[in-house]
Structure 1
Amino acid sequence: MGIRQRHLNSSEQSWNIFVPFQIQFEFSGYLCGEVRQSVKLICIHGVSSSDTERLPSNVIGYWQRSSEGNSKSVQHFESSSLNQWVTLSSNAEDQIVCTLKVRTESNTTIEPPVVCILFTPQDVISSFVLAEVHLHRDTLKSSSFTSSLTDFKGPKESGKSEETVAVLSQCLSTVSNVSPVSVKTFHELPKSAVSSKCFHLLPWLLLSFLNFCGCLVENCTQRLHPLVLYVLSRPSTCQHLIERYKHCWTVGSHIRRSRYQHFLIYNAYCQQLLDTALGIGICVFIVYFELPETLAGNVIGWADDVALKLGQLVKALMGAPAGLKLNAHLTKTMGLFFQYHIFLWTGYLTVLRSVMPTLIWYSSWVGVLGASCQLCLVSDMLSTLTLHIYCFYVYAARMFHLQMYALGSFWRLFRGKKWNALRSRVDSATYNTDQLFVGTLLFTVLLFLLPTTALYYAVFTVLRILVLIAQGILIRLVSIALHTPVFTLLVRLFSPKHVAGSVVFNVHHVPKDKDCLVLTMQTSQLPGKDLVSLSFPKTRTEQVPKHTWAEFLSNLATGKLVYPWVERASSD
């Protein structure tokens, strides 16, 4: 940066002095601010008139143009009980020069090197993110503060990014929390439309109604029998309402009142407002154009086609699919079993045909809670209409798993082994001739019947996975709707300063005859991913998948149910 190291004393730690940009428009006056001795930080946040007889208690320096002397500042410092005094002046080139006088314990005065940082307090306070002190250490680590000061502070002070962030956090907290009295400040908050009552009323009512529904669902489910609770907790709609209730509770109660909390509330408001608007729009569209009858006919027609195609598929499996030689008796028995279930399912669809329009008409009004609730309801309806596919998958999976388990046991019998359930290990065992004969016979029968069972299992597993993919797409759409920071995107687009989350430092100039470095600090935008993560409560925890892909494939190969997962109670 071209800084002359001969002006700097590397044995003395430099002070950081934050000075508002707007001070250049003042002719002269006493500087008001705060000194933090522990981190060698001085934050100036106002100017008091130089003609005031009784100065405010937070005066820490003096500002003057080049045409004036500095007798006032020196006299006031020598006659006061202050240990630090800042003198700001503009030289002949209209550049700011900063000097700091520090009174030591021996009552002597020294002038340590200083870093004068010109910044705009209004930019800091107007940002929802920077105004929250507890976020500084996360959002400001990527700033160029440390790299800008490395040459100035010397090699002994370089690389201390944590201390630098702490110093900057101290400054931002001082600017954010200042409450000036009889001091002219430079950072009055602009009046924003987001603080109007009209903006809060409708979303607040919607969130309150959604909060009530989620609280009602959660409290009711907690007082039911565990089996009934398990059944009611499966639908996506109930899970969605409970999740929204917890999210609203977190935003409204678990975070202290601050501008950052208002930022989270605005995001929740805008999300719910857009979600409800889309839901009501879909509801009005369905009711206005009298679509329940049409949608009911299409849904029942699709269910009939699925049942018809499934019956044809089972009939094909009862023959010789793809030229495979299957066990005729077993495949015929399994085919008749599945065809009978399809016959029962078609009878259920006949009963459902008459009430489906009414169900769709009433279900459309769930849009009052938002389009995301409608998507969850569609997912639950898809689960209901594909219940027969799920049953076929469970039947085939259980049969295949039992067969694989029996083959594994008989295989251990041939090797003179057995499974010790108490110690969960394989031990040696001795078998007589009759046991080996019966084991060999059963192993042979099960091995030759395995292709037939495996074929049915593979077909119904593929159908089940296709249904899960469709449901996963719907749930992913709901997740996108719930985790899209609408307010953040709008503010980022139309007023980016309100979501600035980091700062950038640039060298302004270096005075020739002073141990001083003058920097300019400007707010900058965070990456989109970081900004989205800051738009949600910090108490929100990411859901870690309970099962890996290796476990998923292992369960598929052995015939265990892949969804819903069957959690086995631990032996503890």
Structure 2
Amino acid sequence: MITVMIFIPRDLYDKDSCLLYGNFALSSRGNIAIFYVLQLLQNVKERSSINLTHVGQYNKSETSYANVANRSINWLTVGNKYNDLFVKTLVVQGETVNMTSPKIIFITYDLPIFINTELLFFTACEREMENDENYFRTLMYNIKYCYTNISNTNQKTSKRIILFVLEYLILFLNWVLAGFVVLLPVLKLSSLCIRLHNSLESFRWALDGQIYHKSSKLKIGNYVVATLVDIISGYLILYWFMSLVSSTLPSQLLLHSAEEVVHTLQELLKWLMGIPAGLKLNFAFNKMLGKFFVYHINLWWTFLVLAEPVLDFIFFIFLCFGRLGLTFQAAILADLLALASFHVYCIYVYAARLYNLQISGLLALWRLFLGRKKNPLRGRVDSCEYTANQLFIGTLAFTILLFLLPTTFMYYIVFSTLRLLVSALAGLLIRIQFLLQAVPLYTLCMWLLKSTSVSSSLHMKVQTRKSGVPLVLSMTPVRGSLWKTIKKSIPDPVKKPSAIMWGSLLKSIVTGQLIYPM
């Protein structure tokens, strides 16, 4: 027994007669025939240029039907008696079906609402969905594909000229982004360059989605609104900041802040070179490390003083980019933070490498006392016999490393703490940029206004269920939860920052591995 599912627009009830255009599909088992009716036209001359098949006709009269010369191999004639739909004739794969045998189900839907619905097409815009057994998803894909083609064919000349110019703009952006990819190993060191690359990529994505209908209007609306809010808030904050420092050059402000950091670090190193927290460290090794790190701090301060004329030019560039939005200002702050704390990072790298070297040496020498050694070829620890000389040298080296470890550990724990603070601030600025780009103001307004564009699920209701007539279901899109709606409407180029791996972070701190921005 064959089952016939007919998806048909609800506007059918308002018409006396019309032609049905759409698509036909047959289930993989061949026991379900599906008619997707996508257009209701009065005559053949009204047919648009989209690729739809003439799959049937509709007439309110039970007996009077127009003769159609060129029927398709899949055909149905729909009638309406006392507002109850029924099928008069049915042809599937060229064979006429006896109307007493099939089980017929009508599913009515509001075509304009489904055209405007965005999130229902979230997983239905790929070509592979055509052969999917999810008939509702296939219907949504057919609607999207059909009416996208209609809008493309009905474009005015002025709109086509604008789209032509935008296509060339997209091509230019592709060339610029290709240059970014070539220079990315160098440019990725700057948060501002990364933000500029992401901004151009997002702009290209929005243009591409608007022209070729590759992205939902919800996502593009979120991108446009978030960009406007970003630019306006960034301009206001920049105006407020410039009013505060109008009498001071930006380079002098940075140098003053860097000088405070340098003096603080010098005092910290003097404290470490003494008896920090009452700990008695190795005097010679402590003095050597302290002077070595003080030298690097003084060297960095000298570099900043000599580079003061260049800093004014750099600040001028930063101010130009800062007018592009609050996200650019967050990226500039990340670069300034990295610039002002570069000497701290250098000291941290030295202390971390030295601490890691001592920990690794102590672990290796500890295996010597147990008569074992690490086999790097097989990735395991094997038994080994050592000579007396090897044991003596190993014991001597183990003693030296063990007694120098407290001094190294003191410097490492202090500067690794500073590195954690700087990395946390850098990670916070990255997440601020993400939140500003993904702020769902447009989606939130559409959701509060109960717009059909945020509908993400379907509500099925029995419209007619009488004996002797087909079952008629009414299908209506409904909005989903606010959180799911927001997650599905985040613009595609906006990538969520990677989650913090607390286990890996703790392991890096314990073993002396380098800590990167979170």
Which of the numbers 99, 114, 118 marks the counterpart of 2:87? 99
- For the 8 Å contact 1:277–1:370, the answer to whether it is kept is yes
In structure 2, the residue matched to 1:339 is 294
- Report the alpha carbon displacement of residue 72 of structure 1 after superposing the two structures with TM: 0.6
Which of the numbers 32, 36, 54 marks the counterpart of 1:58? 54
Letter in 2 for 1:123: I
Q: Percent identity?
A: 27
Note closer, same or farther for the CA distance 1:15–1:100 as it changes in structure 2 (3 Å cut).
farther
Letter in 1 for 2:59: W
Q: Following the alignment from structure 2 to structure 1, what is the Cα–Cα distance between the partners of residues 98 and 258? A: 89
In structure 2, the residue matched to 1:125 is 115
In structure 1, the residue matched to 2:181 is 218
In structure 2, the residue matched to 1:519 is 473
- For the 8 Å contact 2:201–2:493, the answer to whether it is kept is no
In structure 2, the residue matched to 1:326 is 281
Which of the numbers 483, 507, 510 marks the counterpart of 1:554? 507
Equivalent residues in 2 for 1:12-23 (5 A)?
Answer: 12-23=1-12
- For the 8 Å contact 1:29–1:47, the answer to whether it is kept is no
- For the 8 Å contact 1:283–1:365, the answer to whether it is kept is no
Q: Which moved more, 1:439-448 or 1:456-465?
A: 439-448
Q: Deviations over 1:32-85 (max 9, x none)?
A: 233515142223445555xx8999883623332xxxx51114x85999787643
- Report the alpha carbon displacement of residue 168 of structure 1 after superposing the two structures with TM: 1.8
Note closer, same or farther for the CA distance 1:497–1:79 as it changes in structure 2 (3 Å cut).
closer
Secondary structure, counterpart of 2:124 in structure 1: helix
- For the 8 Å contact 2:23–2:55, the answer to whether it is kept is no
Letter in 2 for 1:169: R
- For the 8 Å contact 1:132–1:259, the answer to whether it is kept is no
- Report the alpha carbon displacement of residue 505 of structure 1 after superposing the two structures with TM: 1.1
- For the 8 Å contact 1:132–1:258, the answer to whether it is kept is no
Note closer, same or farther for the CA distance 1:136–1:86 as it changes in structure 2 (3 Å cut).
farther
Which of the numbers 134, 140, 143 marks the counterpart of 1:172? 140
Q: Following the alignment from structure 2 to structure 1, what is the Cα–Cα distance between the partners of residues 481 and 166? A: 28
- Report the alpha carbon displacement of residue 481 of structure 1 after superposing the two structures with TM: 2.7
Q: Which moved more, 1:366-375 or 1:117-126?
A: 366-375
Letter in 1 for 2:361: A
In structure 1, the residue matched to 2:76 is 85
Note closer, same or farther for the CA distance 1:293–1:138 as it changes in structure 2 (3 Å cut).
farther
Note closer, same or farther for the CA distance 1:408–1:525 as it changes in structure 2 (3 Å cut).
same
In structure 2, the residue matched to 1:431 is 386
Equivalent residues in 2 for 1:211-360 (5 A)?
Answer: 214-219=177-182, 221=183, 229-230=185-186, 232-249=187-204, 257-258=212-213, 260=215, 265-286=220-241, 291=246, 293=248, 296-351=251-306, 356=311, 359-360=314-315
- For the 8 Å contact 1:240–1:373, the answer to whether it is kept is yes
Unpaired stretches in structure 1, ≥5 consecutive residues: 1-11, 140-161, 180-186, 223-228, 566-572
Secondary structure, counterpart of 2:189 in structure 1: coil
In structure 2, the residue matched to 1:563 is 516
- Report the alpha carbon displacement of residue 106 of structure 1 after superposing the two structures with TM: 7.7
Equivalent residues in 2 for 1:520-539 (5 A)?
Answer: 520-535=474-489
Q: Following the alignment from structure 1 to structure 2, what is the Cα–Cα distance between the partners of residues 79 and 361? A: 72
- Report the alpha carbon displacement of residue 496 of structure 1 after superposing the two structures with TM: 2.1
- For the 8 Å contact 1:210–1:241, the answer to whether it is kept is no
Q: Following the alignment from structure 2 to structure 1, what is the Cα–Cα distance between the partners of residues 331 and 217? A: 29
Equivalent residues in 2 for 1:434-445 (5 A)?
Answer: 434-445=389-400
- For the 8 Å contact 1:33–1:59, the answer to whether it is kept is yes
Letter in 1 for 2:286: T
Note closer, same or farther for the CA distance 1:392–1:54 as it changes in structure 2 (3 Å cut).
closer
In structure 2, the residue matched to 1:184 is none
In structure 2, the residue matched to 1:143 is none
- Report the alpha carbon displacement of residue 125 of structure 1 after superposing the two structures with TM: 1.0
Q: Following the alignment from structure 1 to structure 2, what is the Cα–Cα distance between the partners of residues 387 and 42? A: 67
Q: Deviations over 1:274-297 (max 9, x none)?
A: 444444444555556763727555
- For the 8 Å contact 1:114–1:517, the answer to whether it is kept is yes
Q: TM-score, normalised by structure 2?
A: 0.79
- Report the alpha carbon displacement of residue 408 of structure 1 after superposing the two structures with TM: 1.8
- Report the alpha carbon displacement of residue 115 of structure 1 after superposing the two structures with TM: 1.7
- For the 8 Å contact 1:61–1:85, the answer to whether it is kept is yes
Note closer, same or farther for the CA distance 1:557–1:88 as it changes in structure 2 (3 Å cut).
same
Establish whether residue 114 from structure 1 lines up as the match of residue 104 from structure 2. Answer: yes
Q: Deviations over 1:204-226 (max 9, x none)?
A: 9999997776554434x27xxxx
- For the 8 Å contact 1:17–1:41, the answer to whether it is kept is yes
Letter in 2 for 1:61: Q
Letter in 2 for 1:88: G
Root mean square deviation, CA, Å: 4.5
Q: Following the alignment from structure 2 to structure 1, what is the Cα–Cα distance between the partners of residues 351 and 81? A: 86
- Report the alpha carbon displacement of residue 538 of structure 1 after superposing the two structures with TM: 6.7
Which of the numbers 448, 452, 456 marks the counterpart of 2:407? 452
Q: Following the alignment from structure 1 to structure 2, what is the Cα–Cα distance between the partners of residues 294 and 61? A: 78
Q: Following the alignment from structure 1 to structure 2, what is the Cα–Cα distance between the partners of residues 58 and 371? A: 54
Letter in 1 for 2:515: V
Note closer, same or farther for the CA distance 1:300–1:518 as it changes in structure 2 (3 Å cut).
same
Which of the numbers 49, 62, 76 marks the counterpart of 1:70? 62
Q: Following the alignment from structure 1 to structure 2, what is the Cα–Cα distance between the partners of residues 511 and 276? A: 60
Q: Following the alignment from structure 1 to structure 2, what is the Cα–Cα distance between the partners of residues 17 and 379? A: 58
Q: Following the alignment from structure 1 to structure 2, what is the Cα–Cα distance between the partners of residues 389 and 203? A: 47
- Report the alpha carbon displacement of residue 366 of structure 1 after superposing the two structures with TM: 0.8
In structure 1, the residue matched to 2:30 is none
- For the 8 Å contact 2:170–2:204, the answer to whether it is kept is no
In structure 1, the residue matched to 2:370 is 415
Secondary structure, counterpart of 2:271 in structure 1: helix
Which of the numbers 499, 502, 508 marks the counterpart of 2:463? 508
Unpaired stretches in structure 2, ≥5 consecutive residues: 28-32, 48-52
Equivalent residues in 2 for 1:489-504 (5 A)?
Answer: 489-493=444-448, 496-504=451-459
Q: Deviations over 1:395-440 (max 9, x none)?
A: 1111111111221222122222233444444333333222222221
In structure 2, the residue matched to 1:480 is 435
Note closer, same or farther for the CA distance 1:320–1:555 as it changes in structure 2 (3 Å cut).
same
Note closer, same or farther for the CA distance 1:444–1:277 as it changes in structure 2 (3 Å cut).
same
In structure 2, the residue matched to 1:379 is 334
Note closer, same or farther for the CA distance 1:108–1:445 as it changes in structure 2 (3 Å cut).
closer
- Report the alpha carbon displacement of residue 458 of structure 1 after superposing the two structures with TM: 0.7
Note closer, same or farther for the CA distance 1:290–1:470 as it changes in structure 2 (3 Å cut).
closer
